[in-house]
Amino acid sequence: MVHVCSPVGGARVTEAGGAQARLWAGSDNSQEAESLILVDEADREVGYMSKARCHEGRGILHRAFSLLIFNDRGELLLQRRSAAKRLWPHYWSNSCCSHPRRAEGMETAIHRRLYEELGLACPLQFVFKFQYHAQFDDVGAENELCSVFIGRSNGRVRVDDNEISDWRWVSPEGLGDEMRGAGAERFTPWFTMEWERIWRDHRPAVQAL
C-alpha cells in the first residue's frame, strides 16, 4: 500500500501501513464532527462539511492553515503527530496545522489552535497560500487550500498529548539535512512542500522575526 502526495510541483510516493484505519476507528473521534469550510480554488466559501467527511476518499477541498514557530536562536519547532491521528500518525510535521471552523475567521483560528496544541501565544505573519492533495492509503486524504504563517516564541511549550506525541526544536540547516537524507519520509507531505518554499522564497521574513 502507498500514500501519494500530488502538489503543484510534482509527486511523491512512500510506504504506509493499512492497519491505521483500524487504529483510528477505535480512537476518540469527537473532533471529526467539527464543521469545516469548503472552498473553491480561489478560496471562496462554497459550503460546509464535517471534518471526517472532508478527509474521506480523495478528500474535499477545504480551508486550512499551517504555522511555523521559530525561537530566538532561529530554530523551528516541530511536532510529531499522535498515534491516534487518522492521517500520517507518528510523522514529524510543522509546529501546528489545523482548520478554521465554520463561521470562524482565520485570525481567530490560528491563535486558538496555537494555544490549544502548544500552549503558545505570539504574533503570526502570513507568508503564502497553496493548494495540495495528499493521499494516505485507503484511510483518506488531505485536500486543502492552506494558508501558511510564521511566528517567533520563546515561551514554554505545553503540548496537547491527544494531538502530539513528541516535539523538538531544529535548526534550518539540520532540518535540511534530515529532509535530504534517509529520514526524509518521516515528514508529512504538506510540511515538506511548505518548508522548501519557506526557505527558498521567504528566508528573509523568517530571519527578520
Decide: 94 and 67 in contact? Cβ < 8 Å: yes
For 146-173, how does the pLDDT look when each residue is reduced to its tens digit (9 = 90+)? 999 999 999 999 999 999 999 999 999 9
| 150/198 Cα distance (integer angstroms) | 9
User: What is the tally of structural domains in the chain?
Assistant: 1
> What per-residue confidence (pLDDT) applies to 26?
41
pLDDT at 71: 98
Beta strand pairing status for 76-81 and 124-136? unpaired
Domain range enclosing 84: 2-207
Residue 14: CATH number of its domain: 3.90.79.10
**Out of 117, 142, 144, 194, which one is annotated catalytic?**
144
User: Do 63 and 145 meet the contact criterion of CB atoms below 8 Å apart?
Assistant: yes
Q: Which residues contact 11 (CB under 8 A, 6 or more apart)?
A: 4, 5
Which triple of cell numbers denotes residue 3? 500514500
pLDDT in tens, 181-201: 988 899 999 999 999 999 999
In three-state secondary structure terms, 107 is helix
Catalytic residue among 97, 142, 146, 194: 97
SS3 helix, strand, coil % of the chain, rounded to 5?
Answer: 25, 35, 35
Whether pTM exceeds 0.95: no
Residues 98-117: tens digit of each pLDDT: 999 999 999 999 999 999 99
Q: Is 22 exposed, middle or buried (0-12, 13-18, 19+ CB in 10 A)?
A: exposed
Catalytic status, residue 32: no
Answer yes or no: 54 catalytic: no
